[in-house]
Amino acid sequence: MNETVEAAINEQIKHELDSGYLYLSMAAYCESQNLGGFAHWMRLQFEEEVAHAMRLYNHIIDRGGRVILEAIDKPKAEFGAPLEIFEQVLAHEQKVTGLIHKLYELAVKENDYPVQVELQWFIEEQVEEEKKAGDIVDQLKLVGDSGTAIHRIDRMLAKRGSEK
């Protein structure tokens, strides 16, 4: 495996774990605000991000490379009102999309076809992630700070993962 690409994937593993840690912190914050559905959504997001990190981890291993884990930063602990929380989620997912695109560009430059194929999954995943977060932002903008409407959205978010 190309050393430059391997190092960049190791960096992306860090970003995915950072994302997971951020979502877990958001879950804890939502729990403290009695927003159990929001917390549930964030916990599932945490699990997805860890799974993304492990997918990249396994890709390196499968190709005979070496995973070198980097330190992840302490996430912030305060996130504001529900709309502010999801605006932060959307901005974070847009940032991750940019990182995935840069990694893909590197894979193209280095002619690393297996990484390009692997990253196609991540590119599609990021479209889905941004859409989910954007839809929730739009709903929260519609309802404002209304307690009843926030409660309904909280109940909707609590159903994530059971809608199949």
Please name which of 113, 142, 124, 136 lies closest in space to residue 41, comparing C-alpha atoms.
136
Alpha-carbon gap, residue 75 to 4, rounded angstroms: 28
Kindly report, residue by residue over 33-61, the tens digit of the pLDDT: 999 999 999 999 999 999 999 999 999 99
pLDDT at residue 163, as a whole number? 60
Q: Name the residue type at position 106.
A: L
- Tell me which architecture the domain covering 3-158 has in CATH: Up-down Bundle (1.20)
Q: What are the boundaries of each domain within the chain?
A: 3-158
Alpha-carbon gap, residue 88 to 30, rounded angstroms: 13
pLDDT at residue 5, as a whole number? 98
Please name which of 88, 87, 105, 96 lies closest in space to residue 128, comparing C-alpha atoms.
96
pTM across the whole model? 0.93
pLDDT at residue 74, as a whole number? 96
Kindly report, residue by residue over 12-24, the tens digit of the pLDDT: 999 999 999 999 9
Other CB atoms within a 10 A radius of the CB of residue 80 amount to: 11
- pLDDT 10s per residue in the chain (164 long)? 899 999 999 999 999 999 999 999 999 999 999 999 999 999 999 999 999 999 999 999 999 999 999 999 999 999 999 999 999 999 999 999 999 999 999 999 999 999 999 999 999 999 999 999 999 999 999 988 767 889 889 998 998 887 65
Contacts of 95 (CB under 8 A, 6+ apart): none
Q: Which two tokens stand for residue 158?
A: 């609590």
